[in-house]
């Protein structure tokens, strides 16, 4: 049902109304991270851009902090059409296809520039895989580089033995196993509690997530090892996408391009800002010592091999093309 949300002067008639807003569709957009996080802020602007740009024909409402669907359930909700659109960290679905884990391979890339180059190579493969799952990629943006958080000083992998480690995907689980830590998978929205109650004592994540969740209340050290940069993806159900008019598709694609640019820029800005915030909160923020770095890189080599084995020909093609582009 088409419904005019602006009333027109009765004698003038609908055709002469100034830009009548037609509220034809309402899209709920679940997101896993806190509303103040830069991905969520960008998502809210993206939603507003669509609502405004389509003249209200598509009205998008974001639901941050996993309030509509928890992070782990967002992809399925979009795939099955429970919601038309949603944002998700795809490396959380590496068990469905190793390709989703391309952005969580330790030390394959460590900087935004390297990550961008790898993403350009991966993107068409990823879009193909998503299409098979009835999903269309609208935009995507990285998190800042991943570092290690602890509730104590750590100088070697041996010292990590038995520490309770908050993980967020298969790769982080595996990292815990290989360092002798005990992984427990917890959504970012829940980590402040997990650290406060001792359910977890460490994690690998960005300065941004530690800052968003004020982890200095429970943790003391952040080692900026720059292990990898995982990405969030704004996905739309492909059937819904096909049903969108050409004009509105153009609007959504333009909004998506701006969102990708804004979120990527914010990720970079946020890297230094949030590390300073962790320091202000009282944490020690420093690089890992050389010996620890070497141990971690050896673990990275193991995980790269394991990923290549799981990702088969596509994985090899991606890593080879990346190597050749260097």
Residue of 31, 188, 236, 318 that binds ligand PCA (CB under 6 A): 188
CB of 318 to ligand PCA, least distance (A): 21
CB of 282 to ligand PCA, least distance (A): 20
**Structure-token pair, residue 85:** 């659109």
> Which pair of tokens denotes residue 194?
């997990």
- In the chain, what is the greatest distance between 2 CA atoms, to the nearest angstrom? 81
The nearer residue to ligand PCA, 89 or 225, going by C-beta atoms, is: 89
CB nearer to ligand PCA: pick between 209 and 264: 209
Using the contact rule CB under 6 A, the part of the chain among 52-60, 77-85, 204-212, 273-281 near ligand PCA is 204-212
The verdict on 215 binding ligand PCA (CB under 6 A) reads no
Binding residue (CB under 6 A) for ligand PCA from 27, 139, 143, 149: 143
How far apart CA 181 and CA 6 sit, in angstroms, is 59
Give min distance, CB of 273 to ligand PCA, in A: 14
Pick 8 or 199: Cβ nearer ligand PCA = 199
Footprint on residues 218-237 left by ligand PCA (CB under 6 A): 230
Q: Are 169 and 94 in contact (CB under 8 A)?
A: yes
Site for ligand PCA contains 209 (CB under 6 A): yes
Query: How far is the CA of 291 from the CAs of 157, 202, 203, 284, in angstroms?
Result: 9, 20, 20, 19
Q: Kindly state whether residue 27 participates in binding ligand PCA, applying the rule CB under 6 A.
A: no
CA-to-CA dists, residue 271 to 192, 213, 260, angstroms:
20, 15, 17
The 3-class secondary structure across 258-320, one letter per residue, is HHHHHHHHHHHHHHHHHHHHHHHCCCEEECCCHHHHHHHHHHHHHHHHHHHHHHHHHHHHHHH
Taking the C-alpha atoms of residue 198 and residue 240, their distance in angstroms, rounded to an integer, is 43
Q: Does residue number 183 form part of the binding site for ligand PCA (CB under 6 A)?
A: no
Complex with ligand PCA: residue 39 or 63, whichever CB lies closer: 39
Q: Please say which residue, 54 or 209, places its beta carbon nearer to ligand PCA.
A: 209
CA distance 311 to 226: 23
86: enclosing H helix or E strand? strand 85-89
In the complex, minimum distance from the CB of residue 271 to ligand PCA, in angstroms, rounded to a whole number: 10
Task: Name the one range near ligand PCA by CB under 6 A: 1-9, 200-208, 257-265, 274-282.
Answer: 200-208
Instruction: Find, among 160, 180, 179, 176, the residue nearest to 168 by Cα.
Output: 176
Q: How far is the CB of 253 from ligand PCA (least distance, A)?
A: 26
56 or 207, CB closer to ligand PCA? 207
Cα 194 to Cα 88, 166, 215: the distances in Å are: 21, 8, 10
User: Is residue 89 involved in binding ligand PCA (CB under 6 A)?
Assistant: yes
Residues that bind ligand PCA (CB under 6 A): 89, 143, 168, 188, 205-206, 208-209, 230
């Amino acid at each position: 049902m088409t419904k005019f949300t602006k009333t027109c002067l009765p004698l003038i008639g609908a055709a002469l109304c100034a830009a009548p807003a037609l509220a034809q569709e309402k899209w709920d957009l679940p997101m896993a991270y806190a509303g103040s996080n830069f991905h969520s802020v960008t998502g809210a602007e993206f939603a507003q851009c669509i609502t405004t740009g389509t003249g209200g024909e598509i009205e998008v409402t974001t639901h941050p902090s996993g309030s509509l669907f928890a992070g782990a359930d967002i992809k399925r909700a979009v795939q099955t059409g429970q919601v038309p659109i949603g944002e998700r960290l795809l490396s959380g679905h590496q068990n469905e296809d190793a390709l989703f884990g391309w952005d969580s391979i330790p030390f394959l890339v460590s900087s935004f520039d390297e990550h961008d180059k790898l993403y350009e190579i991966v993107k068409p493969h990823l879009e193909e895989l998503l299409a098979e799952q009835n999903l269309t990629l609208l935009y995507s943006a990285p998190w800042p580089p991943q570092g290690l958080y602890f509730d104590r000083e750590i100088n070697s992998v041996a010292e990590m033995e038995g520490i309770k480690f908050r993980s967020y995907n298969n790769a982080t689980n595996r990292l815990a196993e290989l360092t002798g830590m005990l992984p427990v998978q917890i959504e970012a929205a829940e980590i402040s509690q997990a650290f406060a109650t001792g359910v977890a004592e460490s994690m690998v994540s960005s300065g941004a997530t530690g800052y968003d969740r004020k982890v200095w209340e429970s943790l003391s050290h952040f080692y900026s090892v720059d292990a990898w940069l995982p990405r969030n993806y704004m996905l739309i159900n492909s059937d819904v996408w096909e049903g969108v008019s050409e004009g509105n598709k153009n609007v959504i694609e333009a909004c998506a391009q701006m969102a990708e640019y804004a979120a990527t820029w914010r990720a970079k800005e946020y890297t230094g800002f949030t590390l300073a915030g962790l320091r202000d909160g009282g944490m020690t923020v420093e690089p890992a010592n050389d010996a620890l770095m070497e141990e971690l890189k050896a673990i990275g080599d193991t995980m790269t091999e394991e990923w290549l084995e799981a990702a088969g020909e596509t994985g090899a093609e991606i890593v080879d093309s990346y190597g050749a582009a260097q």
